[in-house]
Amino acid sequence: MDYFKSYRKHEKLKLGKFVFIIAVILFVFFMISILSNKIKSEDNQEIDICEEECIEKASKNIVGISKNYNLVNDGVVSWGSGVVISKNGYILTNEHVSGAKNDNCYVILNSKEKYKANIVWSNPDIDLAILKINYNFEDCAVLGDSDELKLGEKVYSIGNPIGLDFQRSVSTGVISGTNRNLEFEENGKKFYINNLIQTDAMINPGNSGGALINKVGQLIGITTIKISSAESMGFSVPINVVKPILKKLENSGIFEETTLEFWGYDKYSVDKINVNINLDSGIYIGQVNLNSNLEKTGIKAGDIITSIDENKIEKISDLRIYIYEKNPGDIVKLRIKRDKKEFDVEVKLEKK
């Protein structure tokens, strides 16, 4: 009997130790979970704070743009937005906000000072213009990489909707789409803008020429169009297209735009002319300008440009960015696909 009592007592002690150990383990896991959640919360708070600081910093690079010195034309406020992209006085905006190359417009700084600006470059095909004012900025926008955007990525739109009372307004949204193509009509003429960024961030008329930034404050696009007939559909021109232009302006103060003198479509827009064209990559040539260097090589409508100087072409903006890095008179080699055959041609770039 004493043996069985001793055995039961020993088993009770073992069970008690086991329960105690389990309780300690559960307590340790519980505390780790609490600490982990606290750390995550603190990390998220730091991220939120970082985003707020980045947005605040980026907003200081937004300026007002007007074609009129008094900002008012026939009783209507007439102005848009621009983004400081260089400390040396270069500002990026929409061409429809500033006007065309060699025109003048006015820049309104956050201090309400007004400066006369010279439009040193513009392109109606992508609705962008770069202005120059005689002013040295303490800071400027940090350019991001618009080719790395992901669907659902958080973005912010910053601009000057309505008027001076709402300068540097911020709205938030996500990347709703990339490589969007728009067709619109102006003064009886049809226009196309390719490879746009689509966002649901709120965009009002005065936001035209303003900034689309990512969560770390990098400039990834310039707001250009809002479809008035649809809710939460705004568009921006990807920032990568202006990088070679800004580089040349900063280095020499001059940018001479080059061109291949044709009208083309990529896989994102080719269905505008024919839904039956199977285009996985490259640029489908819809029209070659008469007497252009490209026409003289024998290139014709229906040909496909697959690469330039051995660089594969996926979309129209790829080709545009590459030739922006060149100068008028430079010779490039195009790889052409015609029916089932491929061949190379050399073309001298022309000045636009």
Is 10 an annotated catalytic residue? no
**pLDDT tens digit string along 260-279?**
999 999 999 898 787 688 89
d(CA 263, CA 289): 8
pLDDT of res. 3: 43
Nearest of 50, 57, 81 to residue 215 by alpha carbon: 50
Catalytic residue selected from 96, 122, 157, 318: 96
pLDDT of res. 166: 73
pLDDT of res. 40: 43
User: Does 283 or 113 have the greater pLDDT score?
Assistant: 283
**pLDDT tens digit string along 57-74?**
999 999 999 888 776 555
Averaged confidence pLDDT in the chain: 84
pLDDT at 326 over 90: yes
CB 334 within 8 A of CB 308: yes
**pLDDT tens digit string along 229-256?**
566 788 999 999 999 999 999 999 999 9
Is 146 an annotated catalytic residue? no
Q: Give one DSSP letter per residue of 320-332, joined into a string.
A: HHHHHTS-TT-EE
d(CA 187, CA 135): 36
d(CA 247, CA 326): 12
d(CA 328, CA 330): 6
Is 169 an annotated catalytic residue? no
CB 60 within 8 A of CB 139: yes
Catalytic residue selected from 66, 122, 127, 200: 127
Catalytic residue selected from 66, 122, 171, 208: 208
Q: Which stretch of 73-82, 192-201, 276-285 has the lowest confidence by average pLDDT? A: 73-82
